Chain A
Amino acid sequence: MTDRLPKYDSPPVVETVLSVQFAPLQHFSSAHAGWFWKNYLDKEWGTVHVAPRLDDQFERFGDEMLWGRGAGLRIATQPEPDRLQIIRSDNERMIQIQDTRFIYNWKKQEGSYPSYDKLLPEFLQAFSSFKKFTSDAGNGPLKLNQWEVTYVNLLPRGELWQTINDWQEIFPALSKPVTTVDNLFPEDFRVEWRLAIGNNLGRLFITINRGKIGSEKGGEVILLQFTARGPLKDENESSLQSGFDLGHQSIVLSFTDTTSDAAHKFWERRA
């Protein structure tokens, strides 16, 4: 499947995420997270950080979609377990676990993007260890409910763009609003597209933002993020892998469709 997808020798991707969400584990605490870290992972996974847990995210389709009042605050009424971030010694990989998620991040450091074909088996191997752990810890088989793939791309100022007027050279589909008012100049814009994948198979989110890397003093960048997510009705691993494949395919093709030939040339597209 991936053989037919566009490939780039120097893509702007700086982080990828493969994530699976499941029904809350009944018995999961920081102690369990530490148990997994110390007993089920190699010593190269040497650094841990505790972070607030991520909210569960679900994609709904068809009759499950509803109108309602969305404003307000969601208040949790009882303590929830944290998320543990476990980082490999080279800082290129991170496993994140919480009571409802297993997440595998690749973060660009010195090396180049290793490709989905390499990262997927890594995810499956680490997730297999996690499933063994949850079984050993008395949580039984995981009830998977959502797959998720995210690609984060950074386009630094100075490469392909200098001002907002150059953005359309990268994203041909974007256009400035038509106005007859004099002295009206575009200063900024943000984009968030939401696209259904196939027949209720998943949803793709494409966001374009401007920001600075790391801190106010960091370099200015365009952040181009793709997140694909979809439901898992069948809880076996082949369904999960099919979801990942679908998400990855949607992201790679959308990335190519969204960006210009000139940008592809800069990123050294070879297929």
Chain B
Amino acid sequence: MLAKRQARGTWSNETFIGYGENSGPLNPDGLSTFIESDTENEWSNRMAELIQELEHIRSFQDNWDGEGAEAPKTDLVDSAVDLLGSLQSQRTFPPPTRIAASPAGHIILEWQFEHNVYLEAEIVEPFHVEWMLGQPLHPTQHWEESWMPAYAKKQRSRGLTLVVK
């Protein structure tokens, strides 16, 4: 849903979601025909770079910013890698614009969309993310989510999916 709203450029607090649960075209995964879209290309081109940035962040030590920042926690970096993989599998969601570490040792993924719309995902615990959505003329929204990691999916018969709604 985030991606669709971004594509349409109509961000709002209330979205008309009531056509039905997951109302829309058939999920491309249900087809044999595989079409690589611009968004997929974008992910393909950016993913290696994003992982590299995360590995660089993983190497940060305490006081990496010279102002007493905590070193990023390994399991939070792992979680960020997992979240990126899940988002990449959602064909319509673009890769983050920037990845950073916070002074508290958290991992932050940022998206800067058109019309000054800003989305931030701060991974504060393993596989737990705090979202922030900012948009002009609207109050900033905050919400939290947890997800099951991909390695657990594999161990448990790929039972879980993370879906951007």
Chain A interfacial positions (CB closer than 8 Å to B): 14-15, 17, 19, 30, 50-60, 64-82, 94, 96, 103, 105, 107, 148, 150, 152, 154, 188, 190, 192, 194, 203, 205, 207, 209-216, 218, 221, 223, 225, 227, 229
Chain B interfacial positions (CB closer than 8 Å to A): 1-2, 5, 7, 13-27, 29-38, 41, 44, 129, 131, 133, 141, 143, 145-148, 156-165
With A59-B19, A72-B143: A79-B156 Cβ-Cβ less than 8 Å: yes
Cα A210 to Cα B37 with chains together (Å): 7
The 7 closest A-B pairs by CB, nearest first: A79-B159, A65-B18, A66-B18, A211-B35, A60-B20, A70-B15, A58-B20
Cα A194 to Cα B33 with chains together (Å): 22
Among A15, A51, A72, A215, the residue within 8 A (CB) of B131 is A72
Asked if residues A53 and B36 are in contact (CB atoms below 8 Å), the reply is no
Cα A192 to Cα B4 with chains together (Å): 10
What total count of A-B pairs have CB within 8 Å?
174
Q: Which residues of A contact B145 (CB under 8 A)?
A: 72-73, 75
Asked if residues B14 and A67 are in contact (CB atoms below 8 Å), the reply is yes
Q: Which residues of B contact A74 (CB under 8 A)?
A: 162-163, 165
B139 to chain A, nearest CB (A): 13
Cα A148 to Cα B157 with chains together (Å): 27
Asked if residues B26 and A75 are in contact (CB atoms below 8 Å), the reply is no
Asked if residues A17 and B35 are in contact (CB atoms below 8 Å), the reply is no
Among B22, B23, B30, B129, the residue within 8 A (CB) of A103 is B30
Asked if residues A15 and B147 are in contact (CB atoms below 8 Å), the reply is no
Cα A69 to Cα B131 with chains together (Å): 14
Q: Which residues of A contact B33 (CB under 8 A)?
A: 14-15, 107, 152, 154
Interface core residue of A60, A73, A105 (most chain B CB under 10 Å): A73
A27 to chain B, nearest CB (A): 15
Chief secondary structure at chain B's binding surface: loop
Asked if residues B161 and A227 are in contact (CB atoms below 8 Å), the reply is no
With A73-B164, A80-B160: A65-B31 Cβ-Cβ less than 8 Å: no
14 contacts between A and B (CB under 8 A): A14-B33, A50-B158, A55-B161, A56-B21, A57-B26, A58-B20, A58-B22, A58-B23, A72-B2, A75-B148, A76-B161, A79-B156, A223-B35, A225-B26
Cα A58 to Cα B21 with chains together (Å): 5
Asked if residues A51 and B29 are in contact (CB atoms below 8 Å), the reply is yes
Q: Which residues of A contact B7 (CB under 8 A)?
A: 190
Interface core residue of A30, A51, A67, A96 (most chain B CB under 10 Å): A67
Q: Which residues of A contact B163 (CB under 8 A)?
A: 55, 73-74
Cα A36 to Cα B26 with chains together (Å): 24
Among A15, A76, A188, A205, the residue within 8 A (CB) of B159 is A76
Interface core residue of A74, A94, A225 (most chain B CB under 10 Å): A74
Asked if residues A107 and B32 are in contact (CB atoms below 8 Å), the reply is yes
Q: Which residues of A contact B158 (CB under 8 A)?
A: 50, 52, 82
Known: A66-B18, A73-B163, A211-B36. 5 other contacts (CB 8 A): A64-B18, A70-B15, A82-B158, A105-B32, A205-B25
